[in-house]
Each structure stands twice: as C-alpha cells, then as structure tokens.
Amino acid sequence: MKFSLSWLRDHLDTTASLDDICATLNRIGLEVENVDDPTERLAGFRTAKILEASRHPDADRLQLCRVSAGKGFEEVQVVCGAPNARTGLHVIFAPPGTYIPGSDMTIKPGKIRGQTSNGMLCSLRELGIGEETNGIAELPDGAPLGEDYVRYAKLDDPVIEIAITPNRGDALSVRGIARDLAAAGLGTLKPWLTKTVEGQGDCPIRWELDHPACSYVTGRLIRGVKNGPSPAWLQRRLESVGLRPQSALVDVTNYLMMNIGRPLHVFDASRLTGGRLSLTSGMGEHFRALDGQELILGKDDLVIVDDAGVQSLAGIIGGEASAVTNETVDVFVESALFDPVRIALTGRRLGVQTDARYRFERGVDPALVRSGLEAATALIVELCGGTPSEVTEAGAEPAWQRTASLRFERLATLGGLEIETDRAVDILEALGFEVQDRTAEKAVFSVPSWRNDVAAGHGLAQSETLDAAVAAQAAASVESMEAEADLVEEVLRIRGLDEVPALSLPRAHMVPAPAVTAQQARASLLRRLCAGRGLMETVGFSFVSDQDAALFEEVREDDRLLNPIATDLNQLRPTSIINLLRALGRNLAHGQGFAGDASFFELGPCFGQQGNRLVLAGVRGGVSARAPGQPAAEPSWMDAKADLMAVLTALGVAEASLSSTQDAPSYYHPGRSGVVRQGPKLVLGSFGELHPRVARHFGLGGTVALFEVTLDKVPLPKVKRKAAPALSALQPVRRDFAFLADRNVQIQDVLKAVRMADRKLITDVRLFDVFEGGSVPAGHRSLGVEVTLQPQKDSLTDAQLDALMAAVESSVQKATGATLRR
C-alpha cells in the first residue's frame, strides 16, 4: 500500500515529521517497506533558461548553449545534443556534482569535442519521472530561474509504502492508515463526510440480483458528463502511488478506492443494452477485459451481464465492450459488496490481479457501499458535470453490527503487558470501537463496520453428533474468545509492539537433549560398519519354527506362540542366525553367492534361555570373486573373527582386554570356532564356522562363517574428551620372533606375554604365522609374532634393542614355557 505524505494529511491533522510517521507505522504493525522522497532523490536539479543556442563548431548534432540557472550559475556553457534545444527555452539544469538517477551517473565538468561543458540539460526520463522523449524537458515560459525543480514541479511529497497483513483490509486506504496513526497519538483524524446527492428522475437501468456471492449492489446514471483528463491534483495523487491517470471518470474511481478503500466501476451507459444489469454466474462466455486479456468465464465466476452479454467480471475488472471513453456522455456508476472467497478463487483461476480484487478478497467496509456511490457521484459531477438520477439497488446491506468483550486482566495474561484500563478503552475508541457497557473488570464494545477481521464469527460446523443448540453455544464461545484476543491485539498494537516484553519458552535443561540415544547412535554406527565390510542388512521375523530353534538350544514352552501367524513361525527365535541362514539359502539357491555377495547381517532382538537381548549377527557364504593370481575361496572362521573384532573395536572395546576360548555354542564347528570374552566371565560374542549338521538341515553346502555379538553386554564407553594422539617424530622399529610352543599353549597368552615385556615401547603385537610339522617337534607348533616398537624421545641403540629382545624372550618363556627358535 502506497500513499503520499500530503494525501495522508488530508485525513490526519498532524505536524509529525516523516521520520516520526515511519517510526510510528512500524511500531503499530504497519511495516514500512520503502520511502521515496523526491527531495533527496532529485536534489540539485534547478530551473534554467537557454540564453543562446548555437551550433557546435566540430559536431553537427551538438549545440553550444549559454544557460542561466540563477545564483551561482548566472551564465554557464553546456554542450547539448537534444534536437529541441533552442534560444529562450526554459529547461531543467543539472550543475556539476548532480546525480542523474535515470542514467545512473554523476555530472562532472569537462570538454566535449574541444568545448567546455559545465552541467547538463535534462529530460524527464533522466530524472526518472517520465517516459522516453526525443529531447530535453520544456518548461513553461514563465518558469523562474534557479528554483529547485522538485519544489517548482510540486514533487516535494514523499511517498511511503507499507506492508499489509491479509487481515487488515481496512489499512488498504489512506483513511484507514490515518485512523491508526491518530489512535497512536500522532495527530487528530479529520472528519470525512459525504453529502447525499439528490437524484433527478428514476434510473433507467435496474439491477437484478440472483447470486449468493453478492449481497448488495447499487448504481446510478449520470447524464450529460464531459469526460477528459482529470485535474493536475488528481493526476499527481494517482501517479504518486503508481497508478497511471486515464480519464476523469476512471480516475475518480481509482482515487476513492485508494482514499477510502471503496472499489467502484463505471460503465458507458450508451454501450449497455436492455435497461437491466444482472449479477449471475458465467456460462463459458469469451470476455475481453479492460487490460486486453481474453478470458473464458465459468460457472464459479460472478459476472455482470446485460442483454448483449458479459460487461464486467464482478469485483475484479470491467470489460472493453462497456468501457468509458472521452466521448462518453452518460455514465453508470456501480458500487457493490461481493463475497471475498468467490473473488479470490475467480481471480486466482483466471490469473487476473487488480487493485479491486486485492481489496475485495481481504474484505471491504460493508457500510461504504451507498456512501461510496454518493462520494463518486459528487466528485464526477464536480469534475465532469452532468445530472445524476436516483439510486437503483438490489439486495440489502448485510447485518454487520456485532459486539466484542474485553476482560481487562487479559491484557497482561494474554498480551504480557500491563496497560491502564482507561488507556485501553481510549485506544479502542480511537480506532472506532464504541463502548456499550463497562464495569471494573470488563467492557463490551460495538465493532466498527470497517474492521471485518474482529469478531468475524468463524463459528463451528454442525456435525451429526452436535445438535443445533450445542453447536450454536460452542460457536458463540469460540467467537467470544477470538474477539477478545482481537481486542487485546489492537490495544497492544497501538500501544506499541516494541513494548511487548520478549518471553522465551521455558527449557527443562540448558543443554538440549540429544536427538538420538546412545543405543540408537551405536546401532547406526554398527549398520554402517557392517555395510562397509560387505554385509547386506536384513530384517526378519522374530518368529521361527520350533524345529529350527531346537538346533540352536533347548526349546522353551514359554517362548512358544499360542496363535502364530504361520505354522513355521511358532517359536520366538533364540538367535537371528536362523533368519540369516534361511536368507543365505534362498540366495544361494538363486545363484547368488559366487562373487562374494552372499553376506548378510541383522541387528535385532533374540529370546530364549539367555533371556531377551539385542544381538548383532552376521553370516558369510558362497565363494569370493575370482581375480588374476587370486583363486575363488570360501569364507573361514578367521573372516568371522575379523568381523567380530571390528565390531567390538568400533564399540570402543580395547583389543588387549579381550581373550578367546574354544567353548562356542553347539551349532558352531567344534574345531573352528571360539568365544570372545572380556575377563574370565563376561562373554561378548562368538565366531566360527557353522556346524556341518546344522548346515545340512538348512540345505547349505560349503563353508558358512558366522558371528554374534550380544550388544547388551558391551558397556557403553564413558563420555570423555579424547586427548590429542602423542605422535612421535621417530621411525617405528619392527622385529619378528618365532616361538616354539606346546600345542596346548594359548596363542593369546603368548601375545599377552610379549606386550608385558615393555608396555611403553611395544605399541603393537600381531600373529603372522602358525606352523606345525617339518622340523617342529611333535606336539609343538611355531608361532610367528611381529612386534612394533615406537621410541618417543631418542632413537634406540643396538644395545637397547638387544636388551629388549632378551626381555621379550624371557617374558614369553616365563609365562608360557615357549622358547625362541634358533
């Protein structure tokens, strides 16, 4: 919504400055988006006169102009290329240092083709206020010299543009804005009175209203008008808000729409047929609008028709067939009230956006239908002459009268601001709300006609389970609460939205809770880890057949389903390995698994003798893909152990704290499996190859490697800040050992003994070879161990290395009896 400062002062008696007005608008919720002040934008331009114009000696299309522009520029030379520059012409002069908005440049003194030029003679386009022309602007002969052009042209009128929220249809008029500013204490609202124009004779054009989207329509014929350009003051008003003046009749309707928020339309009465206008639905007609668009109208569109066809798209845009022209003698003025929803839907469907539609779909003042027509009649008669007829109308002004109550304590409890009751009442009265009843606790106000957003009566829809009386009572209760909230909003808005204290929502903790729990984060980590190791995730039923479950542990009746979804899903699974083996069998049967693809994992609940627990399990089957120099191979227990150790490492379990024993469950291969423990009692998981007996039951051939980790037994790592790694600048040293050990000696005991030789220098110990037979004595085996030494301060000398090697040999022999092979 745009309006000029002088236009605002037609309704508001105020001495406030432009800055004060803008600050107040922002404070009361009418956000200022832009201020265009020509006084600043066109600073420096002044009126002048060409004393003499002569041909440039070195250019055919340039002229040397001696220009007089008042004090300081009594006589200056300007080189000008405009064809209309001539002696005695009054012009607009831009002295050096002036910014030219239309050309985006600043004038500087200089020479053009060898001749001095100290300024510029301008066109209106170069000032940014006119159309393209073939020359400079020509001022009247009586124009003074050296006067500021903005003041001379009466352009010193700032234009303010504000943003309007959809509920504030009343603020789409200069008067509505002035009313808000007056209520905010920035002046006094001037009275706006329109006299009733006495008609002479009946109107020969009558209305026929048979459509629910229009409740009230009025009109009047004015005979003998003389249309033409509107006066300068009216053109300036319209131009200031971005509307192009057209003719006096059209300009009057646009002026009143912006001035008081009342959209109107004028028809050339001589181009109407049949003496009647009907409001009805479209019937597929082709309609040419005033802007030249060809529209096809449908049954949901409200139109105004005469005997010849559609003459107007009601509430949105008129038609070319009945448009007024400079030859118009008799004009018919229409003022009506249309349904906002119907106007919005029609405009959206047809893609037509007009100022009238913008106001109707947000709600206009229902009490201005007749008075708006009277105001238009008076202004048309004043500007164009003519004789008005009596008013013709159909329908009736809707019953917009309603009340709203305000409990004063709600200003603090709902609005959060303590306001004196008298001040609250004064604010509402200044906005047009009249007190009907008042006590110490509350007041009842009548709502003005222009505030259709307050106590609008949204109500509740009646349903089959809600009788009419209950629905009406509920609707009244909702409307009362909404109306009270509207009044609180109005008081706070005028008091100043910037004074409402900010209140943060309460927080239970200063640090917000994490989006996922530690268990959820751990599950997500393990899924990514297993996928990265080539296993595909499956999600299986928690039910299996009792025959499958019996292969893994003794079946418990407590885990039997009384009403299974299928006969082969009648038992809670003791392990998810069962589901994975079934999935592996189906994939192998379809030819998968011959390129390393038959590898699966599942993270889910398991039941049985060990209780309910969360288990991560995985299986590998088939053979790996063949490659040059690398034959296809089946998975082994070492692959399963590698998967298990990778999982435990990702969960933060130190590998040095783990040990392996050969007491895996019975469904594992007895010689190619193991259990991983942390300490002597805590079993974290198991790994190995599937027992051949179980493999035959599932119809699996070849080797199947599998692992299981009971996640409930793996402790969550303590949350602590990790220290930066102590990286040494020295090169690590690696040494290999071959220990001769009895077959009954556990390999992990040997590795542990090596670590214990020197915990600071030895950073890694790995088994790289196990050999039996040959020169190794019967009942023994040779264990190849790689030891990594990482010095921190000084490089190790040969003597230090020899001493460390001896310490490793001694530690292993003492702990396990193994000796170093010579």
Q: 453 and 545 share a domain?
A: no
Examine residue 509 and state whether it is found in any structural domain, yes or no: no
Examine residue 356 and state whether it is found in any structural domain, yes or no: yes
Q: What is the CATH number of the domain that holds 484?
A: 3.30.56.10
pLDDT tens per residue across span 66-108:
999 988 888 999 999 999 999 999 999 999 999 998 888 999 9
**How many Cβ atoms sit within 10 Å of the Cβ of residue 465?**
6
The Cα–Cα gap between 287 and 310 comes to: 7
Examine residue 407 and state whether it is found in any structural domain, yes or no: yes
The encoded tokens of residue 359 equal 């106001």
**Among candidate residues 344, 361, 395, the one where a domain is terminated:** 395
Phi, psi of 354, rounded to the nearest 5 degrees:
-135, 165
Examine residue 494 and state whether it is found in any structural domain, yes or no: yes
Q: How far apart are the first and last CA of the chain?
A: 99
pLDDT at 461 over 60: no
Q: 457 and 566 share a domain?
A: no
Burial state string for 87-112 with b = 16 or more CB within 10 A and e = fewer than 16:
eebbbbbbbbebebeeeeeebeeeeb
The Cα–Cα gap between 161 and 180 comes to: 15
Q: What is the CATH number of the domain that holds 786?
A: 3.30.70.380
**Among candidate residues 438, 468, 499, the one where a domain is terminated:** 499
- So what's the pLDDT on residue 102? 85
The Cα–Cα gap between 580 and 695 comes to: 12
What are the angstrom distances between the C-alpha of 44 and each of 243, 422, 794?
A: 27, 50, 81
The Cα–Cα gap between 759 and 776 comes to: 31
pLDDT tens per residue across span 551-591:
999 888 888 998 998 988 999 999 999 999 999 999 988 87
Range of the domain at 273: 206-395
pLDDT at 192 over 90: no
pLDDT tens per residue across span 244-283:
999 999 999 999 999 999 999 999 999 999 999 999 999 9
**How many Cβ atoms sit within 10 Å of the Cβ of residue 300?**
12
CA angle 367, 370, 372 (to 5 degrees): 85
- So what's the pLDDT on residue 463? 34
Edge-first strand listing for the sheet containing 317-318: 206-209, 276-281, 302-306, 309-313, 317-318
Annotated ligand binding at 486? The verdict is yes
Examine residue 194 and state whether it is found in any structural domain, yes or no: no
pLDDT higher at 185 or 726: 185
- So what's the pLDDT on residue 467? 52
pLDDT band at 595 (very low <50, low <70, confident <90, very high): low
- So what's the pLDDT on residue 337? 94
pLDDT at 781 over 60: yes
pLDDT at 462 over 50: no
Q: Looking only at Cα atoms, what is the longest distance across the chain?
A: 136
Q: What is the CATH number of the domain that holds 664?
A: 3.30.930.10
- So what's the pLDDT on residue 456? 64
| Cβ contact 180:431 at 8 Å | yes
pLDDT band at 479 (very low <50, low <70, confident <90, very high): low
pLDDT band at 721 (very low <50, low <70, confident <90, very high): low
Torsion, Cα of 678, 681, 683, 688 (10° steps): 90
Q: 540 and 587 share a domain?
A: yes
Nearest alpha-carbon partner for 333 in 412, 252, 221 = 221
Q: Which residue has the tokens 């209309």?
A: 84
Examine residue 505 and state whether it is found in any structural domain, yes or no: no
**How many Cβ atoms sit within 10 Å of the Cβ of residue 767?**
14
Task: For residue 173, give the DSSP letter.
Answer: S
pLDDT tens per residue across span 373-417:
999 999 999 999 999 999 999 999 999 999 999 999 998 888 888
E-strand spans in 113-213? 115-117, 120-122, 159-162, 188-189, 206-209
pLDDT at 196 over 90: no
- Reduced to 3 states (helix: H, G, I; strand: E, B; else coil), residue 802 is helix
384 Cβ neighbours under 8 A, 6+ residues apart: 222, 225, 226, 227, 228, 248, 249
The encoded tokens of residue 3 equal 């309006």
pLDDT tens per residue across span 800-814:
898 999 999 999 999
Q: What is the CATH number of the domain that holds 268?
A: 3.50.40.10
Q: 469 and 542 share a domain?
A: no
- So what's the pLDDT on residue 581? 95
pLDDT at 205 over 80: yes
pLDDT tens per residue across span 503-514:
887 777 777 777
Rounded mean pLDDT, 126-138:
83
pLDDT above 70 covers a percentage of the chain that reads 96
| Cβ contact 601:580 at 8 Å | yes
pLDDT at 596 over 60: no
Average pLDDT in the chain: 89
Rounded mean pLDDT, 360-371:
93
Examine residue 607 and state whether it is found in any structural domain, yes or no: yes
The encoded tokens of residue 740 equal 């001769």
| Cβ contact 31:208 at 8 Å | no
pLDDT band at 470 (very low <50, low <70, confident <90, very high): very low
Q: What is the CATH number of the domain that holds 55?
A: 2.40.50.140
- So what's the pLDDT on residue 597? 63
Q: 278 and 292 share a domain?
A: yes
Q: 379 and 422 share a domain?
A: no
Q: 143 and 171 share a domain?
A: no
Annotated ligand binding at 708? The verdict is no
Q: 172 and 261 share a domain?
A: no
- So what's the pLDDT on residue 759? 85
- So what's the pLDDT on residue 156? 81
CA torsion sign for 670, 673, 674, 675 is negative
Nearest alpha-carbon partner for 587 in 623, 636, 616, 551 = 623
What are the angstrom distances between the C-alpha of 759 and each of 731, 762, 763?
A: 18, 6, 7
- So what's the pLDDT on residue 250? 95
pLDDT at 531 over 70: yes
Burial state string for 132-166 with b = 16 or more CB within 10 A and e = fewer than 16:
eeebbbbbeeebebbebbbebbebbbbbbebebee
Q: 317 and 446 share a domain?
A: no
The encoded tokens of residue 744 equal 């009954």
- So what's the pLDDT on residue 259? 94
- So what's the pLDDT on residue 642? 93
pLDDT at 458 over 50: no
What are the angstrom distances between the C-alpha of 113 and each of 59, 61, 120, 662?
A: 7, 11, 15, 104
pLDDT at 752 over 80: yes
pLDDT band at 136 (very low <50, low <70, confident <90, very high): very high
Annotated ligand binding at 742? The verdict is no
- So what's the pLDDT on residue 460? 34
Which of 347-351, 470-474, 529-533 shows the lowest per-residue confidence on average (mean pLDDT)?
470-474
Domain count, the chain: 6
Rounded mean pLDDT, 133-150:
89
Q: 555 and 567 share a domain?
A: yes
Examine residue 788 and state whether it is found in any structural domain, yes or no: yes
pLDDT tens per residue across span 624-674:
877 787 788 889 999 999 999 999 999 988 888 888 888 899 999 998 999
The Cα–Cα gap between 586 and 580 comes to: 10
Query: Is the whole-model pTM more than 0.75?
Result: no
pLDDT band at 42 (very low <50, low <70, confident <90, very high): confident
- Reduced to 3 states (helix: H, G, I; strand: E, B; else coil), residue 438 is strand
| Cβ contact 494:411 at 8 Å | no
- So what's the pLDDT on residue 722? 66
**Got the DSSP string for 447-506?**
PPTT-TTSS--------TTS-HHHHHHHHHHHHHHHHHHHHHHHHHHHHHGGGSPP-PPP
- So what's the pLDDT on residue 478? 53
pLDDT band at 623 (very low <50, low <70, confident <90, very high): confident
Q: 391 and 539 share a domain?
A: no
Annotated ligand binding at 758? The verdict is no
- So what's the pLDDT on residue 727? 82
- So what's the pLDDT on residue 459? 36
Torsion, Cα of 502, 503, 505, 506 (10° steps): 140
- So what's the pLDDT on residue 593? 63
Q: Which residue has the tokens 């040779």?
A: 782
Alpha helices by DSSP H, 206-331: 232-240, 248-260
Q: 227 and 329 share a domain?
A: yes
pLDDT band at 40 (very low <50, low <70, confident <90, very high): confident
- Reduced to 3 states (helix: H, G, I; strand: E, B; else coil), residue 317 is strand
